[in-house]
Amino acid sequence: MSQHESSVEEPSGSGQPSGSLESLGRKRRLEERDVPAVSSSYSSAKEVPGWLKVARPQDKYEQYGQRRVERSNDTAGDSRYSKYNISTSNSVLKRRHEESSSGDDAHPKYAKYRDESLDRVQSSSSSSSVPEVTAYSNIEIANPSANHREIRYQTFESHIRDRETADINNIVRSHYNQRTVHSKYQGSRTKSPIYKLRNFNNTIKYMLLGNFVKRDENNNEKLFTLLDLCCGKGGDLNKCEFVGIEQYIGIDISDRSVEEAFSRYRQKKARFKSAHRKDNTKYNFEACFATGDCFGQTIPEILEPNFPGIIDRTFPVDCVSIQFSLHYSFETEEKVRTLIMNISKSLRPGGTFIGTIPSSDFIRGKIQRKEYIKEETGKKKFGNSIYSVTFEKDPPADGVFRPPFGNKYVYNLIDAVDNVPEYVVPFETLRSISEDYGLELKYKKNFIDIFNEEIPKYFPKLNKNLIEGMKRSDGKYGAEGDEKEAVGFYLGFVFEKSGV
Ligand SMILES: C[S@@+](CC[C@H](N)C(=O)[O-])C[C@H]1O[C@@H](n2cnc3c(N)ncnc32)[C@H](O)[C@@H]1O
């Protein structure tokens, strides 16, 4: 989903002065550091930054367990990786944009901007449903405004062939790759029909991250770190500056999105690091980005080939954030367990797992109250002018999905998500699996309630443009009409890693 498409860039400058979050100890740590813990300036794939050139104990990786990855194994002889069956060759560091060109159905709407290679999804039998792991560091992104004149706003539609037969990873990757390319040319974001909705969703994420991303006050040695799973185009980078983190690690399956996220980060990265003169319009944290499948690979499998030593140097982290994405994992129990294991093993005790997902309570209510229509195809559908949910199979009359995995629906959000398959996330199942991995539920609330409860506190803290972008027709702030129902489809949650 995506409102998820929160790739909404909020208006620039929404990074909040984080002076209140800075303890003296932290300032000292920053001053004393002479090498960044996660460097953004890897000039080539072969160069390993100095801070990573350390011996690392093998058992650090063992906490993530063993996963099978189908790809060429050229790591023979390196016993550290044998249990993950992952490649350490430089070949995996190559950008993998060479999805072969299909030359298919050019859409007149943005044909001139078209990257035809993005249209085709790979066949479901292809082993590439697990992406090759790619690190992003030294990437040149053309400035689109230099090449194309902005004429009018063009709403987004994806063009995915083989949609019916392709597997979810391929559909999702193609969709978000196309979305990323399109967003460069579509015109001013303020013209989007869901501009207000995006601002609303961003505000919710500010509130969740602002309230629940906490540094480890008992450990002055560790840098304040956030792992952003399914990070998309880096729509939450501003929020990370807002909460004052020191290190950011972003992973997404869409290589175009990861490229874009890195490009955005690089453009706003503060050049000089000084605890005394902090430029709050810039990113004062270090970051790295990688492509990977967060539901099918372990975090070391994704990160280590590109950033050797990163697990030992930067994990466990203080927060794992997964925004508007977890529902894609509910295709199978195995995917959900892989994801939750990744999250739990990445977190320090007391660290938080923060996410936003469609609410199974909301979906159940719609079904129980029979607030749906039957399409000509016989499929049941609910929604309004902004969003729609179309069930693949008849939903259960009581709205309780059993078994809790693989309950597919197609989600549509105007100008953002174009009929992409998603899966119902029965919240109790998420809670129970999370508990299996030592994650305890701390907070769960519908978006409307989060907004109403938190807005008095956040109104003075957030960027003015973001707030103004939520102005309703009655002069108040928040969501209204069809947008209100569309945002009410979502909930925010927070789990905490148990232990000391
Ligand atoms: C709606 S977007 C959300 C992006 C970002 N979290 C935000 O809030 O702006 C969903 C993201 O999930 C990513 N995604 C879906 N399945 C994934 C997977 N298995 N592994 C990694 N990323 C995945 C998509 O590529 C897409 O960028």
Q: Which atom of ligand 1 is nearest to the CA of 295?
A: 19
Tokens of 252: 């997404």
Q: Does the pLDDT value for residue 320 go beyond 90? A: yes
CA-wise closest residue to 321 among 252, 422, 404: 252
Instruction: List, in order, residues 6 or more apart from 106 with CB less than 8 Å away.
Output: 114, 116
Q: Does the pLDDT value for residue 353 go beyond 80? A: yes
Ligand 1 centre from 335 Cα, in Å? 14
Nearest CA to ligand 1 atom 26: 232
Ligand 1 centre from 220 Cα, in Å? 32
Neighbours of 73 (CB within 10 A): 16
Report percent pLDDT > 90 for the chain.
Answer: 57
CA-wise closest residue to 312 among 295, 299, 296, 297: 299
In whole angstroms, give the CA distance from residue 68 to residue 297.
8
CA-wise closest residue to 419 among 73, 168, 231: 168
Ligand 1 centre from 232 Cα, in Å? 5
**167 phi and psi, to 5 degrees?**
-80, 165
- Segment 462-471 shows an average pLDDT of 96
Per-residue H/E/C for 377-443: CCCEEEECCCEEEEECCCCCCCCCCCCCCCCEEEEEECCCEEEEEEECCCHHHHHHHHHHCCEEEEE
Mean pLDDT, the chain, integer: 76
In whole angstroms, give the CA distance from residue 425 to residue 219.
35
The binding-site residues of ligand 1, defined as CB within 6 angstroms of any ligand atom, are 1-2, 4-7, 169, 172, 176, 230-232, 235-236, 252-254, 257, 293-295, 323-325, 328
Compute CA distances 43 → 40, 135, 272, whole Å.
9, 12, 18
Q: Which atom of ligand 1 is nearest to the CA of 417?
A: 1
Q: Does the pLDDT value for residue 388 go beyond 50? A: yes
Q: Does the pLDDT value for residue 216 go beyond 90? A: yes
CA-wise closest residue to 404 among 377, 423, 391: 423
77-81, 269-273, 466-470: range with lowest mean pLDDT = 77-81
Q: Is 431 exposed, middle or buried (0-12, 13-18, 19+ CB in 10 A)?
A: middle
Write the ipTM: 1.00
In whole angstroms, give the CA distance from residue 425 to residue 327.
6
In whole angstroms, give the CA distance from residue 329 to residue 434.
14
Render pLDDT for 223-269 as a digit per residue (tens, 0 to 9).
Answer: 999 999 999 999 999 999 999 999 999 999 999 999 999 999 999 99
**Sign, CA torsion 299/305/310/311:** positive
Tokens of 471: 């102005």
Q: Does the pLDDT value for residue 88 go beyond 90? A: no
Nearest CA to ligand 1 atom 10: 325
